[in-house]
Amino acid sequence: MKKNICVFCGASEGNRPEYHLAAEQLGMLIANQNRRLIYGGGNKGLMGIIANSVLDHGGEVIGIIPERLVKAETAHHNITRLEVVENMHQRKARLSELADGFIAMPGGTGTLEEVFEVWTGMQIGYHEKPVALYNPAKFWQPMLDFLQHTVDEGFVRDSFYKTLIVSDEPQSILQKIDDFIPKDLQRWVKK
């Protein structure tokens, strides 16, 4: 079982109630399965919802947040452990260091940037940790269509595209993360 699950998600709740519910359900499962949530340390939007859900169900939450966001009063000070770092680069490095696997929920540009960085890191051999898109209300479908276009146009290998885990069910996504075996990855660089 992958214990430390890093979740990237929005600091907003989005426009659909399905996103709120998805964050609550995933948080409950992380706690109930004795996993630990690793996330960006915020108290707003889906970030706050998933952290509170994990805590409400007796789980552990580790948040990593840059000083600038603490000063902007977005830090969640009631989690198991809040680590304050200098900047976003340090935040992402620490999230990646602590995580056994990554899940991107609906979110904005920060979520996109985070998930693409860890997925690219897998491609070039920095890690072999599973990367997943949690897809409530088919949020990620337009991006998946675009990613298939990048495969069709010869910019992404199909074998690498298929390493991306996608599910709209929280139980399924956690199981797929546990079952992930980093085999047959054609890396751009050798280890």
Per-residue pLDDT of the chain (191 residues; tens, 9 = 90+): 899 999 999 999 999 999 999 999 999 999 999 999 999 999 999 999 999 999 999 999 999 999 999 988 889 999 999 999 999 999 999 999 999 999 999 999 999 999 999 999 999 889 999 999 999 999 999 999 999 999 999 999 999 999 999 999 999 999 999 999 877 555 544 44
Residue that the structure tokens 């996330």 belong to = 39
Q: Between β-strands 4-8 and 101-104, what pairing exists: parallel, antiparallel or unpaired?
A: parallel
Is the distance from CB of 60 to CB of 37 less than 8 angstroms?
yes
Residue that the structure tokens 């000070």 belong to = 77
Question: Rounded to a whole number, what is the largest CA-CA distance in the chain?
Answer: 47
Provide the 3-class DSSP secondary structure of residue 110: helix
According to the model, what pLDDT value does residue 71 have? 84
According to the model, what pLDDT value does residue 82 have? 97
CA-to-CA distance for 54 and 141, rounded, in angstroms? 27
According to the model, what pLDDT value does residue 72 have? 84
CA-to-CA distance for 100 and 77, rounded, in angstroms? 24
According to the model, what pLDDT value does residue 92 have? 95
